[in-house]
Amino acid sequence: MTEHFPTMTPTRRTVLLSLGAGLAAMALPRGGSAQAGDQVLRFGLSTFPPTIKPFDNTGGAANTVKLMLWRGLMGYDASARLQPELAESVDWTDPQTAVFKLRANAVFHNGKPVTAADVVYSLNEITKEGSTAYLKSDLSILTAVEAVDDKTVKISLSAPSAVLLDLLASYCCPIISAESTEDAPIGAGPFTMKGSEKGVYIEVERFPDFYMEGEPNVGGIRFIAYADENLRYAALEAGDVDLIEYLPWQQFDAVDASDTLEMKSTLGPYMFLLFNVTEGPFADPKVRQAVGYAIERQDVVDAAFAGRGTPLFGLPNPQGSPFDLADPAVEWSYDPEKAKALLAEAGYPNGFDCRLLATATYGMHQDTASVVQAYLAMIGINATLDLPDWGSRVTSGKEGRYDIAVHGTSGTYNDPDSLWPLLYSGNPSYLQSFGFKSERIDGLLEKGRTTTDQAEREAIYKDLAKAYFEEVPQVPLNWRIQAYAMRSNVTGFESLPGFLNGSSAYALDDTKLG
């Protein structure tokens, strides 16, 4: 089945839907032909990125910067529609073979054309033995990536995939030049690196040869790190920045009432608890189950998010998912007596002491941890808070230096398959419970992504919801409403919905300063 995007001027984008959604295609207007402005957009980041390595995932701030420098075969427009980036068409010659045609005008920041050889290099870098790439296990379905000619790439799969095109749109799946080095990756994004000062700012400037004519619409972006959320908001209010991520929840009402500010929000990212399951009490799923029953989730929403969110009791099925997976039989509730009974069954009738890892960088993490700490104490689990900066939090998570940990994140597309990097055993990271492995959960995730019939996929993910509840790879707490806030002269930016919110930086292509 061929999905071809008609020849068009580069001021137009095209939309491509994944195999699981029927492989429909259509052309849509994207961007404008007017000459881009020369203004520099000042963007308030929530932290200075620990790294911006193209294939890593070290948090939302890093991923925002990465999308300015690098692009992949696929991406999203400001309306959250899946669309080609470096590709212009895909031909599914059979359910396990996709042939991509690359844009003729796509060039890297070193001036050299984007070729099939660069695609082969990039995808092989992600999947090679020893790779620590975030999507290594997601892309293990790739059996071969071949250059047919300079502008044609054939990707062969070990099984049909309902989500291949979504994976190729991830901010962790860019195409970089085969001439890249580990310290100097070469991308083809809308901006090039201009300068940075560690801990302070990163500045990028418009790449004049970006393949979309008229984009980006600003001359550059200066990403300024504000580790303190109140300082970040104060900088926006004072006009020192134009746009910020992670608008503090306590300021939502102020922005709503403002004549000079506005916000774009979504219910999508979620908060949850992780465990070190290699030893100690949390190695027992009954103890993890007890934690699931111990916490009044509405109190987390109220204390950490000023009421802007909703409790989450079971598998985090994202907003916009094609499936309804809600089932009270495989969801937690607030039941401290049941929590105490489970602790007793596990051999801890008097509770125990442990270390609860969060971070001081994000108030939402710290406040969530404080609420969790208080509720755990009520069932006899005495948790000492550990609140390092964000970079140290990531390292501690990777190395398992915690007993229980607060975390918040989302998948990268609005399908339960997007939970793969958070749950699949073959992809350990700070986003997963340290040492957790489950053949049952792994098998369901594998079946879900290699099945293209939607009714069959829904049944698989209902089974996954049950396994999630019984084996407890994480304890969900709440969905959070997350917002970007901006000055009223900023136009064109959108907050993408659900799990796609972390990819909202794609909308910076369309963002203008009035």
What is the DSSP secondary-structure string of 381-410? EEEEEE---HHHHHHHHHHT--SEEEEEE-
**Residue 507: inside a domain, yes or no?**
no
23 confidence band (pLDDT: 50, 70, 90): very low
Question: Do residues 164 and 21 touch, judged by C-beta distance below 8 A?
Answer: no
Report the pLDDT value the prediction gives residue 485, as an integer from 0 to 100.
98
Residues 59 and 162 occupy one common structural domain: yes
35 confidence band (pLDDT: 50, 70, 90): very low
CATH of the domain at 16: 3.90.76.10
34 confidence band (pLDDT: 50, 70, 90): very low
Residues 312 and 428 occupy one common structural domain: yes
Q: Which of 296, 317, 316, 298 is nearest to 308 (CA)?
A: 298
**Residue 501: inside a domain, yes or no?**
no
Alpha-carbon gap, residue 161 to 142, rounded angstroms: 10
**Sequence-ordered list of residues with C-beta below 8 angstroms from that of 408, at least 6 positions apart, any chain:** 269, 270, 271, 272, 362, 364, 365, 368, 480
**Residue 311: inside a domain, yes or no?**
yes
pLDDT single digits (tens) 82-96: 999 999 999 999 999
Residues 181 and 274 occupy one common structural domain: no
Mean of the pLDDT values across residues 259-272? 94
Report the pLDDT value the prediction gives residue 30, as an integer from 0 to 100.
38
| Residues pairing with 454 in the sheet | none
Residue 384 to residues 358, 373, 391, Cα–Cα distance (Å): 11, 8, 20
> Residue 41 is which amino acid?
L
Residues 295 and 412 occupy one common structural domain: yes
**Residue 102: inside a domain, yes or no?**
yes
Would you state the structure tokens that stand for residue 280, as one six-digit string? 């100690």
510 confidence band (pLDDT: 50, 70, 90): very high
Mean of the pLDDT values across residues 417-422? 93
pLDDT for residue 25 is more than 70: no
pLDDT for residue 7 is more than 80: no
pLDDT for residue 4 is more than 50: no
CA triplet 330, 332, 333: central angle to 5 degrees?
135
Mean of the pLDDT values across residues 233-238? 97
- Higher pLDDT among residues 31 and 193, named by residue: 193
Residues 278 and 404 occupy one common structural domain: yes
pLDDT single digits (tens) 171-207: 999 999 999 999 999 999 999 999 999 999 999 999 9
37 confidence band (pLDDT: 50, 70, 90): confident
- Higher pLDDT among residues 439 and 10, named by residue: 439
**Residue 411: inside a domain, yes or no?**
yes
Taking residue 147's Cβ as centre, other Cβ atoms within 10 Å add up to 16
pLDDT for residue 27 is more than 80: no
| Residues pairing with 262 in the sheet | 486
Would you state the structure tokens that stand for residue 323, as one six-digit string? 């499936």
Mean of the pLDDT values across residues 308-318? 96
Pairing of strands 404-409, 352-357: parallel
Exposure of 179 in the CB half-sphere (CA atoms within 13 A): 11
Which domain-ending residue is among 141, 161, 189? 189
Alpha-carbon gap, residue 366 to 4, rounded angstroms: 48
**Residue 512: inside a domain, yes or no?**
no
Containing structural domain, residue 431:
269-480
CATH of the domain at 334: 3.10.105.10
Report the pLDDT value the prediction gives residue 319, as an integer from 0 to 100.
87
The total of structural domains in the chain comes to 2
Q: Which residues of 5-29 are buried (b: 16+ CB within 10 A; e: fewer)?
A: beeeebebbbbbbbbbbebebeeee
Report the pLDDT value the prediction gives residue 411, as an integer from 0 to 100.
85
Residues 283 and 184 occupy one common structural domain: no
Residues 330 and 475 occupy one common structural domain: yes
Would you state the structure tokens that stand for residue 119, as one six-digit string? 């695609």
80 confidence band (pLDDT: 50, 70, 90): confident
Residues 177 and 296 occupy one common structural domain: no
19 confidence band (pLDDT: 50, 70, 90): very low
- Higher pLDDT among residues 15 and 127, named by residue: 127
**Residue 511: inside a domain, yes or no?**
no
**Torsional class of 66: left (φ above 0), alpha (ψ -120 to 50), beta (otherwise):** alpha
Residues 27 and 136 occupy one common structural domain: yes
Q: First and final CA of the chain: distance in angstroms? A: 44
pLDDT for residue 427 is more than 80: no
Which domain-ending residue is among 189, 211, 245? 189
pTM greater than 0.85? no
Lowest-confidence pick of 25-29, 46-50, 155-159, 418-422: 25-29
Residues 287 and 432 occupy one common structural domain: yes
- Residue 459 burial (C-beta neighbours within 10 Å; 0-12, 13-18, 19+): middle
Residues 137 and 286 occupy one common structural domain: no
pLDDT for residue 3 is more than 80: no
pLDDT single digits (tens) 386-403: 999 999 999 999 999 999
Helix axes 439-450, 454-471, angle to 10 degrees: 160
Read off φ and ψ for residue 248, nearest 5 degrees: -55, 135
Which domain-ending residue is among 189, 214, 230? 189
**Torsional class of 60: left (φ above 0), alpha (ψ -120 to 50), beta (otherwise):** alpha
Report the pLDDT value the prediction gives residue 33, as an integer from 0 to 100.
38
Q: Which of 8, 494, 54, 412 is nearest to 211 (CA)?
A: 8
78 confidence band (pLDDT: 50, 70, 90): confident
Mean of the pLDDT values across residues 459-485? 97
Taking residue 276's Cβ as centre, other Cβ atoms within 10 Å add up to 23
pLDDT for residue 10 is more than 50: no
**Residue 234: inside a domain, yes or no?**
no
Mean of the pLDDT values across residues 237-266? 96
